[in-house]
Amino acid sequence: MSKGDFLGELDELVLLTTAVLHDEGAYGYSVVTEIEEKTGRKVSLSAVHTVLYRLQDRGLVQSELGGASNSRGGRRKRLFYVSQLGKQAIAKVKHQRDKYWQEIGDLSFGLDLVVI
Amino acid sequence: MKPPRFADKLILWLCHGSLADEILGDLYEEYQKNISQNGKIRAKVQYWFAALRFINTRTLKRKNYLNNNAMLKNYIIIAFRNIVRQKVYSVINIGGLAIGIACSVLLGLYILNELSYDQFHENAPQILKASMEYEIDGDIAEVSSTPTALLPSMQDKFPEVKNGVRLFYPSMFKPLVVSYGSKAFQEKGFCYADSTFFKIFSFTLTEGNKSTVLDNPYNIVLTKSSKEKYFGDEPAMNKTLIVEGKPYKITGIMDDAPANSSIQFDFIASFSSFWNKEPIWYSANYFTYIEMHQLYDTDVLSSKIQTELRNAGMSDPENGQYFGIAFTPLLDIHLYSDVDEGGGDIKNLYVFGSIALLILLIAIINYTNLTIARSFYRAKEVGLRKTLGAYRNSVFSQIIGESFVTVFIAMLLSMLLLYFMLPLFTAVSGSHLEMSFLLRPEVFWSLIAMFFLISILAGAYPAMKMAGFNPVDILKGKYQGSGQGAFLRKSLIVVQFFISLSLIIATVVIYKQLSFINNKTLGYSKDNVLVIPVSKGIMAKSAEFKNLVLKDDNINAVAIVGETPPNIQGGYTIELAGDNSVSVVAVAVDESFIETAQMTLVAGRSINVADIKRTREAKEYSFIINESAAKMLGWQASEAIGQAIKLNGRKGQVQGVVKDFHFRALYEEVSPLVLFTEQTWAYNYLMVNINGQNVPAAIDAVEAGWQTIDEATPFSFNFLDQEFSNLHVSTNKSGKLISAFSVLAILIASLGLFGIVSFSMVQRAKEIGVRKVLGASVANVLILANKEFLLLIILSFILAIPSTYWLMGEWLSNFAYHVNIGVLPMVLGLFTTLLIATFTISFESLKAALMNPVETLRNE
């Protein structure tokens, strides 16, 4: 696996959120609120924006211009969808993490997992 | 609830179309949430912060979806095509700019070099040079030499003084004879210095120990070039040099003093070699440099010393006996010090700095003018681009981009020009400038800054103008032949010719003054007189030498004197009845001086051999005074003869009165002067009046005589007229430099005029055609073309008169003896400019005037 395929922590989070929001429509603000809801973490709009475009450049997400709405002051939004490549990437990350967890489970050194 | 408007504008300005929409929409949603959570005011602040965070390279890179690269490529191609197609204009633009840039870079380097004097000393800011002030007849005189006792007593009394060094140049009186084996030379750069010399100054010692080289008497350090002069490639350390008959041991070799050092020398010998007595106050021939522990206010230091001097009874300002010590920081010596000779002058830097900027301005105006004038040729291109969707911005950046391309080519060319100009400039100005200066970081970055500044200055106005073209009007053909920017264009031409005319007038005034200096009746003959530093051997047998040399037909007269006319400096006092005294300049002369220098006696007689004999045997002195001295002492010329005077203790009679002659540079007025007889030690120079028809034979004869009497001392000489013009060397230099730059200025301005005229002729081709059809002659057309521009030049002339009159008047007031500016320089300046302009205009308009009207009218 070359370095270029590596997903940064925030990249991964945004990519997962985009996947979660597939039906409602993932765009800058919705991703920010979703992340805050799920993790309690405050992320700035511009940071998410940058990540979304970076993911698009890497082909992990695709986008199209959505319609305007009054709740946005009459501005249009760009909706992002996880691409085939993006799905593979999330799956790969999950697979890698799972391998670690299996080993931790095997060792069973009394680690109490606290889910935050 | 509307979000902050300016934040929105900022985003809209930075980001294009849909991107701005997305960002603003997201921001808006967040804003609404923030209002409900945090209230309006905090929400607004948060909105601003969030908006500002979008200003990052990732967002900006997505600015628009146009294919920028392709467009940029197209702009560059168009720029080059334009340059190649419009050959004449390009040559004018690029050539003018290149000359202008080369001039200003050259003068910039010169200024930088002048400012760098003495900066290489590590402790430069803490080093001060002392000078002495004393009161004569109520005036304060300042000299840069100080007594030997100054430094030791300062180190004694003031703990602030860290270190100090005294320098003495015996060669300021006359050159020293230095020899090694069979090699012997008269040396002018011989210096004695205290052992602290290399601790205070950062000269580079290549051999020898920095802290001990000058510790003992008869130690000497050679510069690299004097080492090579005497020893070639052989090692010189620990060998012995003979200086005026005394052996000196070489304890060190150093690099030559850098050209930008105000302290210059070829040899440094230990101060103790000639001074082993107690330091004294009453003889002041020494330069004192002190190093302070930290930066120090020179005024505070001199007032502290003043208190000490008063307490010691050495200074008594209440009774007209003020004596004080002043200090100049080492870094100010070159540019600001008046008492040190041969230094630079801060005024010159301002003058040359302004000239550099003015020439550059002329070149920039050329570019702006020609580009605006030609803009209508390109109106269609702009119209089409705009129709196809070009923004105002993109037209602007295209046109200004062309100015960047042009200035870039001009800059490359100017570096080439500079390469050829540097040696010429160095030869004229005497400052050592090298191409490598361009690579110094501060110079390099200045060049880059200059590139941007010139490109923007030259291109901004035309670019703005063309970006504002209305495509509909253009494509309808409305812009054709309009007088777009005619007023501005004419004003700029007036500015250009104002500058060039002023420079030409200044040049003429300077040359008028120079020729005045060279042709002024000085009261003595400066042509065909040799000046030779006299040696001990010759002095001992002076009568014998004179007789021997005078046998040759080419030698008219030989005199031995203390100092020679263009630069007699010796300050003496005549003691009058009571306690009064007056200060005069005086010099020891022998019986042949008046004859050799061909001066006119107004009354009495010259000194004769008997007078000199009486002086040497009976201490009875004889004097010749000049008219000014007679007047000061209140005598008519005839009354003065036989009067008894006392000159610094020398009692004697006035034997003659000589007509006033200019014994110093023409900056100074002729002051009272006394010529006196003296013991042998006061004579330093031989003056030999030779036959101008056969100069080489005369010199050979003097040299042969010298060799016969004193074989040991090398013979060297100078011409008196050369020494005279050396005194006015800074005027000579400025004359040459300013004339060169005024030629360049008028050249660039004429290039511009040429371009504008040829443009105007093309534009008026139809008008000229119609005129010719209606019967106008070629002459009529030429007059038509000339009238428009010559009027502008006359306007610039009217503007140039008062400013140059005032400026050059200021400059001339530096000279005690100077010409009046008069009408000639003005007329000459106007005439030259008109001639060049008429030639330029007629050359270009003749083409239009000779053209067959059918050619220009058949399309109608």
pLDDT tens digits, one per residue of B531-541: 888 888 888 88
Question: CB–CB of B29 and A65 under 8 A?
Answer: no
Task: State the CB neighbour count (10 A cutoff) for residue B632.
Answer: 15
Question: What is the 8-class DSSP label of residue B491?
Answer: H
Tell me which chain B residue has its CA closest to the CA of residue A75: B25
Same domain assignment for residues B444 and B547: no
Q: Is the pLDDT of residue A91 over 60?
A: yes
Helix residue ranges, H only, B680-777: 695-709, 720-727, 729-763, 765-773
Range of the domain at B603: 529-725
Are the CB atoms for B602 and B627 separated by under 8 Å? yes
What's the gap in Å between the CA of A98 and the closest CA on chain B? 34
Q: Within this chain, do residues B510 and B535 fall inside the same structural domain, yes or no?
A: no
Please tell me whether residues B576 and B431 are part of one structural domain: no
How close is the nearest chain B Cα to the Cα of A57, in Å? 12
Say whether both B683 and B793 belong to one domain.
Answer: no
The answer to whether residues B393 and B308 belong to one domain is: no
Residues of B in Cβ contact (< 8 Å) with A65: 18
State the average pLDDT over residues B619-634.
Answer: 87
- Enter the pTM of the model: 0.70
B55, closest residue in chain A (CA to CA): A46
Q: Is the residue at B796 inside a domain? A: yes
**Percent of chain B surpassing pLDDT 70:** 95
Which of B336, B359, B386 is the last residue in one of the domains?
A: B336
CB of B17 within 8 Å of any CB in chain A? no
Residues of A within 8 A of B32 (CB-CB) are: 71
Q: How far is CA A84 from CA A26, A56, A63, B463, in A?
A: 16, 12, 13, 49
Question: Does B53 map to a domain?
Answer: yes
Given a cut of 60, is residue A108 above it in pLDDT?
Answer: no
Window 361-420 of B: residues touching A by CB (8 A cutoff) are none
Give B-chain residues touching A32 at CB under 8 angstroms: 26, 30
Res. B340 pLDDT band, cuts 50 70 90: low
Length of chain A measured in residues: 116
Residues B750 and B640 in one domain: no
What is the C-alpha separation between A27 and B152, in angstroms, rounded?
Answer: 84
Please report the DSSP string for A22-45 in residue order.
TTT-B-HHHHHHHHHHHH-----H
CB of B26 within 8 Å of a chain A CB? The answer is yes
Residues 49-78 of B with CB under 8 A from A: 50, 53-54, 56, 58-59, 62
Residue B411 has pLDDT above 70, yes or no: yes
- Could B26 and A77 be called an inter-chain contact, meaning their C-beta atoms sit closer than 8 Å? yes
In a domain, residue B630? The reply is: yes
Residue B443 has pLDDT above 60, yes or no: yes
* Closest approach of A56 to chain B, Cα-based (Å): 13
Secondary structure in 3-state letters for B343-397? CCCHHHHHHHHHHHHHHHHHHHHHHHHHHHHHHHHHHHHHHHHHHCCCCHHHHHH
Evaluate if residue B809 carries a pLDDT over 80.
Answer: yes
Q: For chain A, which residues make up each domain, given as ranges?
A: 8-107
Contact B18 A77 (CB under 8 A): no
pLDDT value of position B644: 85
Q: What is the pLDDT of residue B127?
A: 92
Per-residue confidence (pLDDT) for residue B105, from 0 to 100: 92
Q: Which of B200-209, B548-557, B564-573 has the lowest mean pLDDT?
A: B564-573
The two structure tokens encoding residue A32: 């920010």
In this prediction the ipTM stands at 0.83
Residue B279 has pLDDT above 60, yes or no: yes
Task: Verify that B387 and B496 share a domain, yes or no.
Answer: yes
Radius of gyration for the alpha carbons in chain B, expressed in angstroms and rounded: 37
**Nearest CB neighbour to A73, from listed B25, B53, B56:** B25
**Per-residue confidence (pLDDT) for residue A2, from 0 to 100:** 42
B66, pLDDT greater than 70: no
Inform me whether the C-beta atom of residue A32 falls under 8 Å from chain B C-beta atoms.
yes
Question: Do B170 and B235 have their domain in common?
Answer: yes
Q: Encode pLDDT of B128-161 as tens digits.
A: 999 888 776 666 777 788 888 888 888 888 888 8
Give the Cα separation of B271 and B259 in Å (integer).
24
Q: Are residues B721 and B734 in the same domain?
A: no
**Does residue B103 lie within any of the structural domains?**
no
The mean predicted confidence, pLDDT, of chain B is 84
Query: What's the average model confidence in pLDDT over B96-114?
Result: 90
Model confidence pLDDT, tens digit, residues A42-84: 888 888 988 988 888 888 898 888 877 777 778 888 889 999 9
What is the tens place of the pLDDT at every residue in B844-858? 888 888 888 887 777
The DSSP bridge partners found for residue B129 are B289, B328
Residue B12 forms contact with A (CB below 8 Å): no
Give the CA distances from residue B671 to residues B84, B99, B803, B816, in Å, rounded to whole numbers and listed in that order.
66, 47, 33, 11
Q: Which of residues 58-77 of A touch B (CB under 8 A)?
A: 65, 68, 71-73, 75-77
B48 contacts in A (CB within 8 Å)? none
**Cα end-to-end distance, chain B, whole Å:** 64
Q: Which residue has the tokens 């200025």?
A: B745
The answer as to whether B638 is a domain residue is yes
Q: Do residues B301 and B445 share a domain? A: no
Question: How distant is the Cα of A90 from the closest Cα of chain B, in angstroms?
Answer: 24
Pairwise CB contact (< 8 Å): A32 & B32: no
Phi first, then psi, for residue B297 (nearest 5°) are: -75, 120
Confirm whether B749 is domain-assigned: yes
Residue that is written with structure tokens 């004192």 in the block: B288
| Residues of chain B contacting residue A28, judged by C-beta atoms under 8 Å apart | 22-23, 25-26
Instruction: Indicate if the pLDDT at residue B342 is higher than 80.
Output: no
Minimum-distance CB partner of A44 among B25, B50, B58: B50
How far apart are the CA of A99 and the nearest CA of chain B, in angstroms? 35
Query: Which stretches does DSSP call E strand in B156-299?
Result: 161-168, 176-180, 183-187, 190-193, 205-207, 219-223, 240-243, 246-254, 267-270, 287-292
Q: Look at residue B193 in the predicted model and tell me its pLDDT.
A: 92
Q: Which two tokens stand for residue B263?
A: 């302290």
Tell which of A30, A54, A75, A78 to mutate to test the B interface (max B CBs under 10 Å).
A75
Q: How far out from the chain centre does Cα B848 lie?
A: 46
For residue B521, give the DSSP letter. Answer: -
Which of B667, B693, B725 is a domain's end point?
A: B725
Task: Give me the residue from A27, A46, A75 closest to B28, CB to CB.
Answer: A75
CB within 8 Å: A77 and B28: no
In a domain, B702, yes or no: yes
Predicted pLDDT at B794: 92
* Nearest-Cα residue of chain A relative to residue B30: A29
**Dist CA B410 CA B84 (whole Å):** 14
pLDDT for the residue B795: 93
Alpha-carbon distance of B14 to B7, in angstroms, equals 11
Identify which of A33, A50, A73 has the shortest CB distance to residue B58: A50
Nearest-CA neighbor of B223 among B196, B200, B199, B241?
Answer: B241
Least confidently predicted of B201-215, B448-462, B479-493, B793-807: B479-493
Contact across the interface for A50 and B23, Cβ inside 8 Å: no
Q: What is the arithmetic mean of pLDDT over B89-94?
A: 87
User: What one-character DSSP code corresponds to residue B266?
Assistant: S
Q: Which CATH number fits domain A8-107: 2.70.170.10, 2.40.10.120, 1.10.10.10, 3.50.50.60?
A: 1.10.10.10
DSSP letter at A111?
A: P
Q: Which residues of A touch B59 (CB under 8 A)?
A: 46, 49-50
Q: How far is CA B273 from the centre of its chain?
A: 38
Q: Is A29 on the interface with B (CB under 8 A)?
A: yes
The answer to whether the Cβ–Cβ distance between A73 and B3 falls below 8 Å is yes
Question: Within 10 Å of residue B220's Cβ, how many Cβ atoms?
Answer: 24
Helix (H) or strand (E) holding B442: helix B441-467
Say yes or no: A26 contacts chain B, CB-CB below 8 A: no
Query: Residue B486 falls within a domain, yes or no?
Result: yes
CA–CA separation, B730 vs B510, rounded Å?
A: 11
Section B218-244 average pLDDT: 90
The pLDDT score that the predictor gives to residue A3 is 44
Find where tokens 């399309």 sit: B859
Identify the CA nearest to B794 among candidates B834, B745, B754.
Answer: B834
Contact between chains at A76 and B25 (C-beta distance less than 8 A)? yes
- The answer to whether residues B120 and B258 touch, using CB atoms and an 8 Å cutoff, is yes
**Cβ pair B59:A50 closer than 8 A:** yes
| A46: DSSP letter | H
CB atoms within 10 A of CB B145: 18
How close B67 gets to chain A, by Cα (Å)?
A: 17
Q: Indicate yes or no: CB of A73 within 8 angstroms of CB of B23.
A: no
Phi then psi for residue B582, to 5 deg, are -125, 145
Domains identified in chain B, total number: 4
pLDDT band at B71 (very low <50, low <70, confident <90, very high): confident
Which of A45, A53, A71 is nearest residue B50 as measured by Cβ atoms?
A45
The percentage of residues in chain B with a pLDDT greater than 90, rounded to a whole number, is 12
pLDDT at position B412 over 90: yes
Closest-CA distance of chain A to residue B39, Å: 18
Asked if residue B131 lies in contact with residue B325, where contact means CB atoms within 8 angstroms, the answer is yes
Q: Do A53 and B62 touch (CB under 8 A)?
A: yes
